[in-house]
Amino acid sequence: MSKHRPEHTAPPDLFYNEEEAEKYTSNSRMIHIQSQMTQRCLELLALQNQSPTTGATASAATDGEAGTTPSSPKLLLDVGCGSGLSGSIIEEAGHFTVGVDISKHMLEVGRRSVSGDLFVGDIGQGFGFRAGMFDGAISVSALQWLCYSDKKEHKAHKRLSDFFQALYRCLRRGARAALQFYPESPEQIELITTVALKSGFSGGLVVDYPNSTKAKKYFLCLSVGPTLAQNLPKGLDDSATQQTASMEKRRRQDKKKGPVERKGVKTKDWVKMKKERQRRQGKDVRRDSKFTGRKRKDKF
Amino acid sequence: MRLMTHNMLYCNVKACVETANLEAERPRNFPLKINPVPGGIKHIKQEFNEEFIKGLFHKLDWEALKQTASELEIAQLPESPPENYAEDTAFLRSVHELIMEIHIMEGALECRHCGRTYPITKGIPNMLLDEDEV
């Protein structure tokens, strides 16, 4: 876990000052990660399948192809929209956003890039939208801020439940919310998930790249109304459980046979295994070819 | 802020919400009254997206929109929307102009129930509440 969590330094409305807002928005790595996560959030919303008649069954069947067929334009709520990096991606996909953020400075930067409406608000206080207005909600790296109490009056549980209740109210029936967040500890994940489910949502946590520390991403995928529990979208690369199972098996076999000859290091199999592992972590890996794992010719 | 967003916002002060009777046909904390400064309303052209307006229209609160439009002296809307609004492109276009192209840039929102005001600067309303209002 990173030592430099902004959540520890200052409350969000103070942390994202003018300078920080500018930095955040011009950092190409930030932009890259944010846009990737926004796209994944959109995928998890599975918007194109949501028609009032077909409902949840259709969205379960084609979850994998989400985002390939254009859907009719929807009204989405962008929670913790910040400087509008996520908003502009959603607009490119043809939807309309209303964004809320606690940092005025971030929003002022955001006004340049997003055409949707923005307003200043603390999501821990809930928000005053009429019931059933939105077709979906997304949030990129905002939710974890609610777990920290920066003021005496702040209680994580209260703020989270105010937020989820307000969110539940303003989404229409059948709408989904995809909320990406950076939990600091398993307790935070548990707190956020339980509060969300208590507020009436169905759904759960989707974890992408569970094998990698760096690429691992947590998405809270929630739905209003029809249950999401059985057809919760799969996290990208779900082979974690299989892998531990095969490890277990190998260990048992090893025990039986007693000490065995060590397999050669940097053989073709070893290289392939390594590459497979890195692929699972979502890294950029060269494809396998007939030259994989071959020794280079000795040269004079 | 567009009139579309204004059409969904109500006053979120806890004491106000509790007494405003949100579930009623006409809750008392909605719609918020718009007090623009002179010249604080801007008309910004935007591409007309018929499908979006069509999808949004049944969620709009027509009474509130009518009241706001006449208070701001922008348009006089009919008593009720036409029955077959989905086929009436001209009507949808006029709705689009009203809710998507009118921006409140400077001014304030005022709750008719509790009198709380929310400032709007550079088109961004500040809906932050004080701790004793949550």
Q: Which residue has the higher pLDDT, A256 or B95?
A: B95
Cβ under 8 Å to A: B residues 92-131: 122-129, 131
* pLDDT confidence band for B96 (50 / 70 / 90): very high
Structure ipTM:
0.90
pLDDT at A63 over 50: no
| Assigned token pair, A45 | 């919303």
Element (H, E) at B104: strand B102-104
DSSP class of residue B11?
Answer: -
Of the listed ranges A29-33, A265-269, B8-12, the one predicted with least confidence: A265-269
- Choose among B36, B54, B45: nearest CA to B91: B54
Best of B59, B110, B126, B132 to mutate (most A CBs within 10 Å, chain A): B59
Average pLDDT rounded to a whole number, residues A278-285 = 90
Residue A56 and residue A203: Cα distance in Å, rounded?
A: 12
Q: Going by DSSP bridges, is the β-strand pair B41-43/B102-104 parallel, antiparallel, or unpaired?
A: antiparallel
Q: Which two tokens stand for residue B112?
A: 């008719």
> Residues A157, A24, A191, CA angle at the centre, nearest 5°?
15
Position B17 scores a pLDDT of 87
User: For residue A149, which amino acid is it?
Assistant: S
The pLDDT of A151-160, averaged and rounded, is: 81
- The answer, for B50 touching chain A at a CB cutoff of 8 Å, is no
Nearest Cα neighbor of A201 from A223, A232, A221 is A223
Please answer whether residues A169 and A131 qualify as being in contact, where contact means their C-beta atoms are separated by less than 8 angstroms. yes
Chain B residue with minimum CA distance to A106: B124
Let me know the angle formed at the C-alpha of A286 by A285 and A290, rounded to the nearest 5 degrees.
140
Which comes out higher in pLDDT, residue A300 or A297?
A297
Q: What is the pLDDT of residues A103-139, one digit of tens each?
A: 888 888 888 778 889 999 999 888 889 988 999 999 9
Q: What is the DSSP string of B34-67?
A: EEEPTT-EEE------HHHHHHHHTTS-HHHHHH
Query: Residues 117 to 156 of A: which have CB under 8 A from any B CB?
Result: 117-122, 125-130, 132-133, 135, 151, 153
Mean pLDDT of A171-179: 90
Least confidently predicted of A111-115, A151-155, A281-285: A151-155
A173 touches chain B (CB under 8 A): no
Q: Is A73 an interface residue toward B (CB < 8 Å)?
A: yes
Residues A271 and A293 sit within 8 Å (Cβ to Cβ):
yes
CB distance from B21 to chain A under 8 Å? no
> Does B8 contact A at CB distance below 8 Å?
yes
Q: Rg (Cα) of chain A, in Å, rounded?
A: 22
**pLDDT given for residue B85 in this prediction:** 84
State the pLDDT confidence band at A54, using cuts at 50, 70 and 90. Answer: very low
Confidence of residue A259 (pLDDT cuts 50, 70, 90): low
Strands A75-79 and A117-120, sheet pairing: unpaired
CB contact under 8 A, B126 and A96: no
Mean pLDDT for all residues in chain A: 80
pLDDT value at position A213?
82
User: Is the pLDDT confidence value at A285 over 80?
Assistant: yes
3-state secondary structure chain A: CCCCCHHHHCCHHHHCCHHHHHHHHHCHHHHHHHHHHHHHHHHHHCHHHCCCCCCHHHHHHCHHHCCCCCCCCCEEEEECCCCCHHHHHHHHCCCEEEEEECCHHHHHHHHHHCCCEEEECCHHHCCCECCCCEEEEEEECCHHHHHCCCCCCCCHHHHHHHHHHHHHHHEEEEEEEEEEECCCCHHHHHHHHHHHHHCCCEEEEEEECCCCCCCCEEEEEEECCCCCCCCCCCCCCCCHHHHHHHHHHHHHHHHHHCCCCCCCCCCHHHHHHHHHHHHHCCCCCCCCCCCCCCCCCCCC
Range name among A45-49, A198-202, A216-220, B54-58 with the lowest pLDDT average: A45-49
Is B126–A129 a contact, with Cβ atoms under 8 angstroms apart? no
Residue among B9, B29, B131 minimizing CB distance to A129? B9
CA distances from B56 to A50, A73, B100 (A): 15, 10, 11
User: pLDDT-based confidence at B109, cuts 50/70/90?
Assistant: very high
Q: Which residues contact A22 (CB under 8 A, 6 or more apart)?
A: A109
- Residue A107: which of B55, B61, B124 has the nearest Cβ? B124
A3: phi then psi, degrees, rounded to nearest 5: -80, -20
Mutate to test the interface with A, among B60, B128, B130, B133 (most CBs of A within 10 A): B128
CB < 8 Å from B in window 249-288 of A? none
The residue with greater pLDDT, B107 or A249, is: B107
User: Amino acid letter at B2?
Assistant: R
Q: How far is CA A47 from CA A11, A43, B55, in A?
A: 33, 8, 14
Answer whether residue A254 shows pLDDT above 70. Answer: no
- Whether residue A21 is predicted with pLDDT greater than 50 in this model: the reply is yes
CA of A39 vs chain B CAs: smallest distance (Å): 21
The mean per-residue pLDDT over the stretch A6-10 comes to 80
Q: How confident is the model at residue A262 (pLDDT cuts 50, 70, 90)?
A: low
Is the omega angle on the peptide bond into residue A186 within 30 degrees of 0, that is, cis?
A: no
Mind listing the pLDDT tens digit for each residue in B7-64?
Answer: 999 998 988 888 888 777 788 888 899 999 998 898 988 889 888 998 888 889 999 9
Q: Which residues of A touch B56 (CB under 8 A)?
A: 75
Chain A, 82-111: which have a CB under 8 Å from a chain B CB? Answer: 96, 98, 100, 102, 104, 107-108, 111
**Looking at per-residue confidence, does A93 or A250 come out higher?**
A93
How high is the pLDDT of residue A67?
40
Distance CA A252, CA A256 (A): 6
Quickly tell me which residue has 């591409």 as its tokens.
B47
The reported pLDDT for the residue numbered A230 is 59
Is 60 exceeded by the pLDDT of residue A62?
A: no
- pLDDT at site B3: 92
Q: Higher-confidence residue: B98 or B21?
A: B98
What pTM was computed for the model? 0.77
pLDDT of residue A250: 63
Distance from CA of B73 to the nearest CA of A (A): 22
Query: Quick one: pLDDT at residue A229?
Result: 59
Instruction: Determine which of A112, A115, A130, A167 to mutate to test the interface with B (most B C-beta atoms within 10 Å).
Output: A130
- Write out residues 54-83 of B within 8 Å (CB-CB) of A: 55-56, 59, 61
Name which of B67, B85, B84, B63 is nearest B75 in CA terms.
Answer: B67
B34 forms beta bridges with: B109
Q: Does A178 have pLDDT greater than 50?
A: yes
